[in-house]
Structure formats: C-alpha cells, structure tokens
Structure 1
Amino acid sequence: MRIIGIDLSGPKNHKDTVLAIFKQEGNHLQLVKWANNLNDQDILNEVFEQSQLDEVVIGIDAPLSYQDGGGDRKSDRELRKFIVGLGMRSGSIMPPTLNRMVYLTLRGIKLSREIENLNASYPISLVEVHPGAIIGSRLSKQNIEYVLAYKQEQSARSFIRNWLTEQGLTQLPVEIEEESHSIDACAAALGAWHWKDSSYNVKWIFPASPPLHPYDYCC
C-alpha cells in the first residue's frame, strides 16, 4: 500500500503545496518521495504513478466539500469542539467558504474529483484530514505545546519530526523541519494510514455523507 499525504495550498500558491509519499512496510511507513511547489497536474501525475504500483490511500489537508448556504459544515463544528478539548486553538478550523479559505476549498474539491477519474491500476481512496489535530490527538498532554508552536518555531518542528518517526514514519529528512507544510504533509499521511489500516484507529472521524460531503473527515 502507498500512503500519500498532501498539504494543499490555494491554486495560486504552488510553493506551499507539499506532497509526501510513503510505502507501507509492515508496521512502518517508509518515505519514498517528498516534494513541494506542485501544481494540480504535478499531483495527479504523482498519484497516477503510485496507483500503477499498488493501492493508494490519500490524506488531503483541505476542505473537500462545503456547506450549502455557507458557514461551517457539521464536521467543522464537531472537530473544533474536539481539538479545543485537547487544549488546541479553535481558530485552526475555519469554514470552507470563509474568504481566506474559499480558493483552497475550490482546489480541494476540484483535485479530489480529478483523482477519482484517474485510470488507476489499483484502488485509490481519499480522506480529508486535519494535520494539527492528527498530531495533537496523539501527543501526550504534557507535550501539547509543540502542536501549538510548530507553525512558528523550528524547535517544535524538530520535536514533531522525531515524534513522527516514533509513530512509524521512517527516513524523514531533517529538511522537513524547515517549514510547517512538510510536517503537515507527513502528518496527513499518518492520519490517512490510521484511517485505512484496520490495525490502527483514528482519534476522531466524521463519516462521509454523500452526495454533498462524499469523503470521511478524520484525525
């Protein structure tokens, strides 16, 4: 199985879009490729290539649906409550139609549907994820400060990179500590792995509700 974590940015901001591809090796994920500065076609090419080799599971950090009429989806409200209970800040969960989110939402919806239309040799499954919640829900309470700081502080990213290795993600280069988007892509892969592999459990999940909300949302 191939696990892909994608930290998606808006359609004009390719620089901050990061993709991390892992190959499952028993109870570990081995990093196969890590790349940034990706447009939609770059991502589709990577997913297609992996789908010719094995089953692919993709965790995408971006809204993959929106609430008709605007505002929060029910899943956004529920996840916000969950992370506040962990000691995290509520502001990291934003409505998909908020002005600063709407282009990211558009890209997430478009890209997820394009992935579904790929001529894959093996199955592809997608799940919407929240990397901060994936990290925060698995950290011990005494270490929750690191998830609050990793967007700003390199030392917190260094701690989380080492912690991700302890969670079974191997061969992570030190360079992923340089900015938070790479950490988020790896965390997205961790969440997608735990969502798909029956040996693990997600910490929170809001099931898909087709046709308007066609993907599970988890951390």
Structure 2
Amino acid sequence: MYIGIDLSSGNNIANTSVTVLELTNNNMLKLVSITSGLNDADILDVIDKYKENCVIGIDSPLSTNGDNKCRESDKKLKDSLAEINKFIQNKQEKFKLSSVIPPMSRHMVYLTVRGITLSRSISIGYPEAKIVEVHPRAALFLHFYHSIAVDIQNYKEVNNKHAKLNVINCLSQTISGIEATGNYTDHDIDSIVAAYSAFCWDVGTYAFLFSKTDKFHPYEFSC
C-alpha cells in the first residue's frame, strides 16, 4: 500500500489530507481512500491498518540543517527544476523555484517540526514501514509538465477550479478510482501525488532522487 500525507502547518488540521493507493494484480494503481482533517494520532491509525506492507510519502521537510537555509537536497531539487525551466519558453509554464522553501524559514517551522515528529513516530512504531520525503508540486511538474505545466503552477489558487480539474484529470489517467470531475481540494491533490511519489520511489520510476542520508537526514527525498 502507498500512503501519501499532506501535512498542514499551524493549527489548521483541517488541511491535512491522507491518501491510500494500492497496486492491483495487473500492476495498476487504484485509489483506496482520501481522508482529511487528521491529527497525528489519526494518521498513525491509518498507517496501523496497512503496517505489514506500507510505503509512505510525506509532504513536509523531515530534517533540517538547524538554520534557515536550504538543505543540500532542496538545492538539488531546485537544480533539477531549473534545468527543465531552461527549455520552457512560456514564462507561465515555468516552475516557481520559490516553492522549494528552507525547512526552518519562519512560516515553515511548525510544519517542519510536525513532519520530523510524525516521521520518527512512524519509524519507531512501525519500523517495517518505508518513508520518503516528497514535494507534490515539484513531482507533478517533473512528471507531467509537458501536458499541464500552467495548471501545476495554479491549482493551489482558491478560485482556480479549472486548474484543479486539469490536474485531477491528468492523475485519473494514471490512478484508477479518481473521479476526473471530482471535488478535490488542493490538499487532497497533494496527498494523492505524495502517495504516487512514494510508489515511484519504491519501484524506481522517480523523476528526482536525493539518496544521501545520515543520522541528521535519515530519509531519502524523491519526486
């Protein structure tokens, strides 16, 4: 099972979304569930159902350098995104590199602390579970920029339903069970892509991988 977790920052637990995908017998991904408004204990309850065979993608920094600068992994991801931007003529289709944010920057601190705490709780409680840090918007861009580049930049805008629908339609062609016209929030979309990124990391079809780990940065970073 592949679990994607889009953590919310601050006290807005309502914006936390968790998606569960399964790989069917014919090697196709299928949507099992999307749940929102989960606190950390609720997330652990979801993981507990699939603890025997579980790969988890978490949309949050899972480590920090201890300062407000980008980690090496963040810099490498920016480099990969910037390389694609070089070949895109339309400015509106270029990836906004500013969305790759240092983990300890002011408005990321709570999210980073939550991500670090949750990931360690999972590793301690469910040592067989595999965890990878993910960045859903970057993953969407790296995998699908050739078809929905503008929508990837805009689907988080509150009133841009068109962009959300185009992103969902794209994902529905890869993952069965997603309603192409479904009323998904941008947080739901991010949790779906987090689960998809976990799958790509697990089977080796990722578009980006930072695999260098140590005791301060124990998880790989993949899109």
Asked if these proteins are the same fold (TM beyond 0.5), I'd say yes
Residue 209 (structure 1) shift: 1.5
Report the residue type matching 1:27 in the other structure.
Answer: N
Residue 142 (structure 1) shift: 5.0
* CA separation of 1:23 and 1:85: change in aligned 2, threshold 3 A: same
Aligned residue for 1:137, secondary structure, equals helix
User: What does 1:32-181 align with in structure 2 at a 5 Å threshold?
Assistant: 32-51=32-51, 54-86=52-84, 87-119=94-126, 123-141=128-146, 143-152=148-157, 153-167=160-174, 169-173=175-179, 177-181=183-187
Report the residue type matching 1:189 in the other structure.
Answer: A
- Name the residue aligned to 1:190: 196
Question: Structure 2: 5+ residue runs without aligned partners?
Answer: 85-93
Number of aligned residues: 211
In 1, Cα distance between equivalents of 2:193 and 2:61:
16
Aligned residue for 2:132, secondary structure, equals strand
Report the residue type matching 1:130 in the other structure.
Answer: H
In 1, Cα distance between equivalents of 2:66 and 2:108:
15
- Name the residue aligned to 2:5: 6
* CA separation of 1:175 and 1:99: change in aligned 2, threshold 3 A: farther
Identity %: 32
TM-score by length of structure 2 reads 0.89
In 2, Cα distance between equivalents of 1:175 and 1:36:
19
- Name the residue aligned to 2:208: 204
After superposition, the C-alpha distances for 1:6-26 in whole angstroms (9 at most, x for unaligned) are 111125221000000111113
Residue 145 (structure 1) shift: 0.8
TM-score by length of structure 1 reads 0.90
CA RMSD of aligned residues (A): 1.7
After superposition, the C-alpha distances for 1:16-47 in whole angstroms (9 at most, x for unaligned) are 00000111113212111110000000000110
* CA separation of 1:213 and 1:136: change in aligned 2, threshold 3 A: same
Which contiguous aligned blocks of 4+ residues in structure 1 show a shift greater than 6 angstroms? Answer: none
After superposition, the C-alpha distances for 1:121-163 in whole angstroms (9 at most, x for unaligned) are xx31000000011111111435311111111121111111111
